[in-house]
């Protein structure tokens, strides 16, 4: 598609599109006289819809550009043009933003490390004494009477 976005290719594509559309127009008008995309539309509406779709497609293929007008119109004194930022200023700003991000990331890493250290201090592994299974299971489970009157044994982590 690169050929059609440059000058000689654009002209060829547009001429071809106009010629093909002009050849299709009588056939489309005959076709839309009997079957339209929407039965409520007139033949003219159906044709204009088709022509607009073709125009949008072909202008997208050739990547038509709309020129910008930098002259104040009805805005008068309110129309202001803003010059682009100089490369030097842009690089300085990017450098400052990069430093701020690095400092923030460093601070976040330090906070996470402090949290991990605190969690390690709180979680000291305790050696459990091995007891018989009856007392061990009663410590880890709780008996509850359910809605239907039956007794249910739940693990402690599901307690309310």
Q: Is residue 97 part of a domain?
A: no
Strands (E), 5-47: none
The pair of three-digit structure tokens given for residue 105, joined into one six-digit string: 């990331």
Q: What is the pLDDT of residue 132?
A: 43
Contact 98, 91 (CB under 8 A): no
Q: Is residue 26 part of a domain?
A: yes
- Say if residue 26's pLDDT is above 50: yes
Q: Is residue 28 part of a domain?
A: yes
pLDDT tens, position by position, 55-81: 999 999 898 888 888 888 888 888 888
To the nearest whole number, what is the mean pLDDT of the chain?
82
User: What's the domain count of the chain?
Assistant: 1
Q: Which helix (H) or strand (E) covers residue 77, if one does?
A: none
Strands (E), 23-148: 141-145
Which residue, 136, 154, 137, 156, is CA-closest to 145? Answer: 154
Q: Is residue 141 part of a domain?
A: no
Rounded CA-CA distance 86/84 in Å is: 6
Task: Determine the structural domain holding residue 50 and report its residue range.
Answer: 2-63
Rounded CA-CA distance 98/82 in Å is: 26
Q: Is residue 38 part of a domain?
A: yes
């Amino acid at each position: 598609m690169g050929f059609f976005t440059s000058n000689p290719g654009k002209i060829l594509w547009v001429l071809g599109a106009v010629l093909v559309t002009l050849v299709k127009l009588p056939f489309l008008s005959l076709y839309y006289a009997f079957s339209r995309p929407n039965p409520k539309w007139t033949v003219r509406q159906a044709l204009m819809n088709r022509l607009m779709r073709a125009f949008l497609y072909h202008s997208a293929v050739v990547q038509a550009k709309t020129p910008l007008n930098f002259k104040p119109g009805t805005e008068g004194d309110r129309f202001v043009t803003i010059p682009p930022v100089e490369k030097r200023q842009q690089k300085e700003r990017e450098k400052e933003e990069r430093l701020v991000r690095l400092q923030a990331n460093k601070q976040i890493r330090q906070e996470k490390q402090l949290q991990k250290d605190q969690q390690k201090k709180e979680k000291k592994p305790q050696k459990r004494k091995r007891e018989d299974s009856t007392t061990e299971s009663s410590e880890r489970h709780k008996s509850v009477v359910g809605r239907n009157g039956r007794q249910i044994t739940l693990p402690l982590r599901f307690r309310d």
